[in-house]
Structure 1
Amino acid sequence: MSGTKQISIDQLIPGMFIVEMDIPWYRTPFLFHKRLIRDHETIGVMKQHGVQHVTIDTTKGLDVQAQAPTPSPLPETSADAEHASPPDNTPSEDSSSVPPDGSALQIAAVYGEAQEAVERIFADLERGVPPTPAATKVIVGGVISQVMQDRSALLLHSTFLKLKQFDRSLGAHALDTAILSLVVAVESGVDRALYEHLGTGALLHDAGYVRLPRNLVRKRDECTESEQRLLEQHTQLGLLVLGERSGFHQEVCRILAEHHERCDGSGYPRKMKAADISALAQIVGIVDLYDKMVSRRGGRPAMIPHDAVRQLFLVGERGQYPKPLVEAVIRSIGVYPVGSLVRLNTGEQAVVVGVNPEQRLKPQVKITGGPHGEFYSNPEQIDLSLPSQDKVSRTVLRVLDPAQERVNIAMYLGDVAERAA
């Protein structure tokens, strides 16, 4: 607390770390306000959006220097830029918006603020107030930035929170679907110009559910035929809640309308075939399927991640999704996704904490127990694709059920998430 102080926007210079602005996040183009100021352009954007005061943390960045109180009405000029150059105590290795040892906190901040924003969007939808493209652009832009920076750490954090949530909301599912859809897009070589449309469509793909009875949407038991038909209307209802003049790109609207269509014509609502379905809608569709399988919602238990991967393989074999897309998803999450509990060939028990896209059968694991059922108080984290210090060659033998083994997966992912990246 003693390291924070409020200063005028005219006192802000590159090298300072801000923790708060004097206006809400949604009135700025920044998803999160905690950031290292790297250039005068950022300060100029803040001024354009009405920021007059900020709170800085002097333990993470520069302090206000003792100098003549000369105002800087044009901070973006080259003369001012030279005058405001950070002194020698600026960390030279800090090439990102957050120091390396704070990256996990940054990911948590990005995810947390994005989730709050998405929950507000769904709360507004329930009140009949649709989101604007500008509002979703801020959220999606922040997620895209983090996916490009460190998607593995973001997926780890997402999985960690998923395990802690006993009953996930529509907003939480929407955000995780957007994150993984963007990861798959990167993995499968989707044109970067389409990322924003993909992320926005993924965030809003289930918007139509707000027009359906909540007890039906969250029903645990199998639905009757009439109930299922009603649920399937959420694709058309999604377009209605956005409104005819929503301003959203056509690709976004197609994702809402087509994410439940299947290449073999078995989907809904129009039973479209492969060539007619939006490629972005297919990405959101298969990610939506996976996220729902591995999530607890409406009292329904989550599927073991490895079993969910097997289901993805089967829908690809049945021709419901293009095989290259299924392979891209599996490359993104791994054959043994983060959070899987596995038995190694040594008899040891381990929790998967990271995937190796190039060697999908050799994930990064934390060894939590020995071959005789003993639990380790200080689990060792190793990469199965690399030689181990004890010269033992370890491989995954089989997948275990955490419930049957009475293992709290979140407990082992928590400290990894804190040290991620």
Structure 2
Amino acid sequence: MAYRPIDIDALQIGMHVAKIDVAWFRSPFMRHSFLIRTDEQIEKLRRAGVKHLSIDPARGLDIPGTSTSVQDEPNGTTKPLDTPSPPATEVRSLAAMTQELLTARTARAQLEASVQNTFSRIAQTGIVDPEEATHTVHAISAVAQALNTHALFMAFNQGRAGNAPLSQHALATCSFSMILAHAADYNLLAIQELATGALLHDIGLMQVPPNILQRIHDTSATLSEQNRQAYEAHARAGAILLERRNGFSPSVEQIVAEHHAYLNGSGFPAETGGAFTSDMTRIVMVTDRYDELLTGFGGASPLTPHQSLQRLYQEGQEGRYENRLISLFVKVMGIYPVYSYVSLTTGERAIVSVINSGKLHQPIVTITHDPSGQPYIVPLVIDLANQDAEAPPRGIRSVLGTIPPEFERAFH
């Protein structure tokens, strides 16, 4: 195959791009071989830092007045095991996905600072201001609506330990609850109310002695009866803090008081029957536990998002949580959440790009590395639920993490 090298300034509509001089994970396009149809495509290449590229005169326009002398395609490059047509579902480029995730992480850091300020004032004054809580929830909601849901979800899935500040757990639980409530078709006002309860659900922990909290976070050993009672009192203590101000709805107070009142009766307070908890409270039960699993609460090893969803599902089967809500959470976020970096059964490595809602075990993936660990020149988009019968069958073997650091470093 013969290509012609050109500068970006020579690129015109009608030319067929064959190669560009930036790594594919920085490219604004999923493929590095495509027809230039608009000036906008050329501008995107400029913004991505492309200065030199190769065109394929056999598939598009050539440079006017040039000879037919062109470069042969070099040998020895790694090509995917197969190159079927990409799935019909729109798949964003890895450059776009990486940028979305970085943007979400930046937003998370800004929100964490805001929520920490709110919680610091509560710790200093012993007062929960309804107006400040509402303002904080509105800020979280605005960010949640502006960002890609999957990017927001994954941004809160990383970089926190079980002993992280209470405000970080509160923010994560609030964000996850908003996602789940939206999937459950809650209206905006109901989501705001739920989010307020989720943000403040553990506010009573501020009244638990630090040494007891440290023990709970750092070890799975059985607490003494006295310490256990002190810890379990946080649910009621939090509700009392809210009741003092007369500015919170009964639904918010109920979330704070009953978020540990598990459906099978194993939770606390003992006088609260889990079977009588509200749907809002049950959402917070699910998202609160999910975040505990992520961060290694109670001395357990932190789990990946995939492992956390698995464990949450198992605990739902034991009767602690609402199975309907867990199933909805998994359906929205996927068994393998978007941005997950996975190992395939072929030995290749890929990034989960799109969730297949009907086949959660088989998402659409963007394959980045071959079985030997070498990056493909052009990433390969494969729908694991609709594969080419003549290609090697692919499935997800394990989750390695999220988008690799080398992709992210390209944007710093």
Does the TM-score normalized on the shorter chain lie above 0.5? yes
Greater mean alpha carbon deviation, residues 380-389 or residues 140-149:
380-389
Residue 225 of structure 1 deviates from its aligned partner by 3.9
Instruction: State the alpha-carbon separation in 2 of the partners of residues 361 and 286 from structure 1.
Output: 21
| Residue ranges of structure 1 left out of the alignment (5+ in a row) | 1-99, 403-407
Tell me which residue corresponds to 1:415. 408
One-letter identity of the residue aligned with 1:281: T
In the TM superposition, 1:18-417 aligns within 5 A as 107-108=104-105, 110-149=107-146, 150-159=148-157, 162-163=158-159, 167-219=163-215, 220-221=218-219, 222-226=221-225, 227-270=227-270, 272-296=272-296, 301-338=301-338, 340=340, 342-352=342-352, 355-365=355-365, 367=367, 369-372=369-372, 374=373, 376=375, 380=379, 382=381, 384=383, 392=391, 395-400=394-399, 402=400, 409=402, 411-412=404-405, 415=408
Residues 358-389 of structure 1: CA deviation (Å, up to 9, x unaligned) = 442233545454324x3539894746358789
Instruction: State the alpha-carbon separation in 2 of the partners of residues 262 and 133 from structure 1.
Output: 27
Instruction: State the alpha-carbon separation in 2 of the partners of residues 229 and 418 from structure 1.
Output: 49
Instruction: State the alpha-carbon separation in 2 of the partners of residues 397 and 124 from structure 1.
Output: 46
One-letter identity of the residue aligned with 2:109: G
| Residue ranges of structure 2 left out of the alignment (5+ in a row) | 1-96
The change in CA–CA distance for 1:381 and 1:191 in structure 2 (over 3 A counts) is farther
The two structures have a TM-score, normalised by structure 2, of 0.65
- Looking at both structures, which has the greater relative contact order when contacts are Cα pairs under 8 Å and sequence separation is at least 6? 2
Tell me which residue corresponds to 1:30. none
Residues 196-238 of structure 1: CA deviation (Å, up to 9, x unaligned) = 1110111111111111122322331124242333211110121
RMSD: 3.7
Instruction: State the alpha-carbon separation in 2 of the partners of residues 358 and 417 from structure 1.
Output: 34
Residue 292 of structure 1 deviates from its aligned partner by 0.8
The change in CA–CA distance for 1:101 and 1:309 in structure 2 (over 3 A counts) is closer
The change in CA–CA distance for 1:101 and 1:218 in structure 2 (over 3 A counts) is closer
Is the Cα–Cα contact under 8 Å of residues 351 and 403 in structure 2 kept in the other structure? Answer: no
Greater mean alpha carbon deviation, residues 257-266 or residues 360-369:
360-369
One-letter identity of the residue aligned with 2:408: D
Residues 30-68 of structure 1: CA deviation (Å, up to 9, x unaligned) = xxxxxxxxxxxxxxxxxxxxxxxxxxxxxxxxxxxxxxx
The change in CA–CA distance for 1:278 and 1:362 in structure 2 (over 3 A counts) is same
Residue 181 of structure 1 deviates from its aligned partner by 0.6
Instruction: State the alpha-carbon separation in 1 of the partners of residues 143 and 356 from structure 2.
Output: 19
Residue 308 of structure 1 deviates from its aligned partner by 1.9
Greater mean alpha carbon deviation, residues 347-356 or residues 267-276:
347-356
Residues 164-186 of structure 1: CA deviation (Å, up to 9, x unaligned) = 66852211111111111111111
Residue 192 of structure 1 deviates from its aligned partner by 3.2
Residue 152 of structure 1 deviates from its aligned partner by 1.8
The change in CA–CA distance for 1:263 and 1:129 in structure 2 (over 3 A counts) is same
Identity level (%): 25
Q: Which entry has the higher C-alpha Rg, 1 or 2? A: 2
Instruction: State the alpha-carbon separation in 1 of the partners of residues 396 and 100 from structure 2.
Output: 33
Is the Cα–Cα contact under 8 Å of residues 206 and 238 in structure 1 kept in the other structure? Answer: yes
